[in-house]
Chains A and B, each alone.
Chain A
């Protein structure tokens, strides 16, 4: 699904990623852990094509395609979805307008016709129920005035609408209480198919109790310094990152 080779990236001239190698196969869930400033968010932003980041070396292939040659929206319509750490409020743009534009763009990329208005509304209703999001939220402007938990839930709702094949959950657990975390994680699990892959970025074991990773990576100072199974996350929860640093 996703193949990252020797990836170097910088922001405003400062190198953040210093040679990342990462392969995620169909259906796999990888967790990415690391200290603040290690480059976790940079990696996810580079994968989705944030314009502020510059890739100076290396490659990313997504289902065989050269991802770095694709625009942000093309990556999205190809099936990449990022749940934002801080979802953006867009006053005046309704969820409905926004999702219709996004769903139809994805359908167009898949060679499908645009959805009829009635079918689209039906889809909104069904997916909304699936992730237990209030209709009140769906009828408002995108994320405007939403609480932290509502915003995260709205991210999962958008995932439900867009049916991505590769998801990045960028600190989806930050700012969530335990109940909200469970609802969001369960929403993600419901949406997962056998082919869905994911990169789950988190500081804590907590989220991984709900979304079980196949592989756990530790990112420090712009490099993946340790890779292991789910037990690695547990070990980090118990011992922190210092022991990994001293191993290096």
Chain B
């Protein structure tokens, strides 16, 4: 419990400071989360779903936390011009866990401020995801999510009332900025009431070449007939560790698309729990990770589990995990799982692990394309399977461009953010 101890001690010592920098609704659930964390600790490599993530080791170093809410000077506009060409968005910056708005954006607020302004509304949803419940969450899971609940002080609140629709997609630029190694605990709460519609695009950047440890919990509540497009793009550097937990709860007749793309980063663990409570909802989750190590071996692990409960007749599901090992040293672990208790369903699952197609490489070289360029075309094509699913066309074009740059090795200079150049 060595790794856990520093967080338990820190919480005990700084509890008041943490609460002072946050709001009552968030403070109300802290102690319970910390207690759960203290009881369970981090999952270990012996826990099936953490076999490939040594989470305790990732949390062991001594990171600074900005619990006193010291203002970190950032003028994001000077550094970031993250507009996606031909896509009109509302822009919000989140520095660490603190949102920074240049103007009022409809339906969007700082989570802390929302707790103060509309405590009843936030309390109805905050930390209410089943996946975050200590009694329901399986043992050995989500230690980092409980830690997030204990330490999170702010974040983003998106609330679209019944029947309303976000006019522009919301682009959230998460910025990690610090002169010293730092831990950030960011919280996002998205509530869509009946028939509401929203599109969110969240990208992660690190501005300083120090070690960052980020925990993030995104809770999403979609009421009946709501529609959500949620895109996540990580573009940080190799000393960034990111642990993200997405917990989604859907009613009936919802349409949800989630797309998570990791272009560059250090250790990234993205977990998503989606619970379909109602009927006829459609969820599409796409993700892609470009894992590459310049000094170390690239490792990727996928574990997916679709659980179809006995009452969930007529469920249709498809689970696919495709992997391309472009280097001899790359390693892939994949577990596409399916658990079905209903008898009238159509569910498929599968995964592939492959290398670059030698025939295709030769064919292209015979036309004069160099081996390096041919490999690049094949790698882009592979990732394109995911990018092509993006529903916003300008974003799709932008992502293709970024992936191409990534594979050309032109994207590993995040100080200053390649997204903007």
A109 at the interface (CB under 8 A from B): yes
Residues of B within 8 A of A51 (CB): 362
B389 to chain A, nearest CB (A): 13
Within 8 A of B (CB), among A99-118: 101-102, 105-106, 109
Chain B residues contacting A202 (CB-CB under 8 Å) are: none
Contact A93 B381 (CB under 8 A): yes
Tell me whether B370 and A90 are in contact (CB under 8 A).
no
- For residue A179, give the distance in angstroms from its CB to the closest CB of chain B: 26
Docked CA distance A89–B369 (Å)? 16
Chain B residues, Cβ within 8 Å of A50: 362
For window 337-384 of chain B, which residues contact chain A by CB distance below 8 Å? 357, 359-360, 362-371, 373-374, 377-378, 380-382, 384
CB–CB B367/A102 < 8 A: yes
Decide if A101 touches B381 in the complex (CB within 8 Å): no
Q: Is B320 an interface residue (CB 8 A)?
A: no
A31 interface contact, C-beta 8 A: no
Q: Which residues of A contact B380 (CB under 8 A)?
A: 92-93
Do the beta carbons of B363 and A88 come within 8 Å of each other?
yes
Flag if A76 contacts B365 (CB, 8 Å): yes
Q: Encode contact with A along B60-72: 1 for CB under 8 Å, 0 otherwise.
A: 0000000000000
Interface residue tally on A, bucketed by range:
20 to 34
- Contact assessment for B364 and A98 in the assembled complex, using a CB-CB cutoff below 8 Å: yes
Instruction: Check A165 for interface membership: any CB of B closer than 8 A.
Output: no
Residues on the A chain within 8 Å of B371, using CB: 71, 73
Q: Which of A82, A90, A92, A109 contacts B366 (CB 8 A)?
A: A82
Question: Using Cβ atoms and an 8 Å threshold, which residues of chain B touch A82?
Answer: 366
Given the contacts A51-B362, A90-B378, A93-B381, A76 and B357 also touching, CB distance less than 8 Å: no
User: B271 on the interface (CB 8 Å rule)?
Assistant: no
Report how far A77 CA is from B371 CA in the complex, Å. Answer: 13
A76 and B366 contact, CB distance less than 8 A: yes
Q: CB distance A90 to B368 under 8 Å?
A: no
A15-54 contacts to B (CB < 8 Å): 48-51
Q: Does A187 contact B (CB under 8 A)?
A: no
Q: Give min CB distance, A155 to chain B, whole Å.
A: 10
Contact assessment for A77 and B368 in the assembled complex, using a CB-CB cutoff below 8 Å: yes
From the candidates A81, A101, A141, name the one contacting B369 in the complex (CB within 8 A).
A101
- In the docked arrangement, what's the CA distance between A87 and B367, Å? 12
Tell me if A84 counts as interface (CB < 8 A to partner B): yes
- On chain B, the residues within 8 Å of A141 by CB distance are 381
Do A98 and B370 touch (CB < 8 A)? no
Tell me if B385 counts as interface (CB < 8 A to partner A): yes
Q: What's the nearest-Cβ distance from chain B to residue A88, in Å?
A: 4
Query: Are A84 and B364 CB-contacts (below 8 A) given A101-B373, A102-B369?
Result: no
Q: Closest B-chain residue to A141, C-beta based?
A: B381
For B369, list chain A residues within 8 Å (CB). Answer: 73, 98, 101-102, 105
Residues in B neighbouring A158, C-beta threshold 8 A: 367
Q: Using Cβ atoms and an 8 Å threshold, which residues of chain B touch A87? A: 363
- A240, B370: Cα distance in complex, Å: 42
Q: A88-B359, A92-B382, A92-B384 are in contact. Are A101 and B366 (CB under 8 A)?
A: no
**Contacts A73-B365, A90-B364 given; does A105 touch B384 at CB 8 Å:** no
Contact A48 B366 (CB under 8 A): yes
B363 engages A84 (CB within 8 Å): yes
> What distance in Å separates the Cβ of A76 from its nearest Cβ neighbour in chain B?
4
A73 CA to B372 CA, complexed, in Å:
11
Question: Which residue of the partner chain B has the closest CB to A105?
Answer: B368
What 1/0 flags go to B365-409 for Cβ under 8 Å of A?
111111101100110111011000000000000000000000000
- Which among B370, B381, B384 is the interface contact of A73 at CB below 8 angstroms? B370
B18 CB, nearest partner CB in chain A, Å: 48
Chain B contacts for A102, CB-based, 8 A: 364, 367-369
A13 to B367, CA, bound (A): 27
A91 touches B366 (CB 8 A): no
Give bound CA distance, A184 to B73, whole Å.
67
Q: A76-B365, A88-B360 are in contact. Are A105 and B385 (CB under 8 A)?
A: no
Contacts beyond the supplied A71-B365, A73-B370: 9 A-B pairs with Cβ under 8 Å: A72-B365, A73-B371, A87-B363, A88-B362, A91-B381, A92-B378, A101-B374, A141-B381, A162-B368
Q: Which residues of B contact A (CB under 8 A)?
A: 357, 359-360, 362-371, 373-374, 377-378, 380-382, 384-385
14 A-B contacts (beta carbon < 8 Å): A49-B366, A50-B362, A72-B362, A76-B367, A82-B366, A88-B359, A88-B360, A93-B381, A97-B377, A98-B367, A98-B377, A106-B368, A141-B381, A162-B368
What 10 A-B pairs have minimum CB-CB distances, sorted nearest first? A92-B381, A76-B368, A102-B367, A105-B368, A88-B363, A72-B365, A77-B368, A73-B365, A101-B369, A90-B360
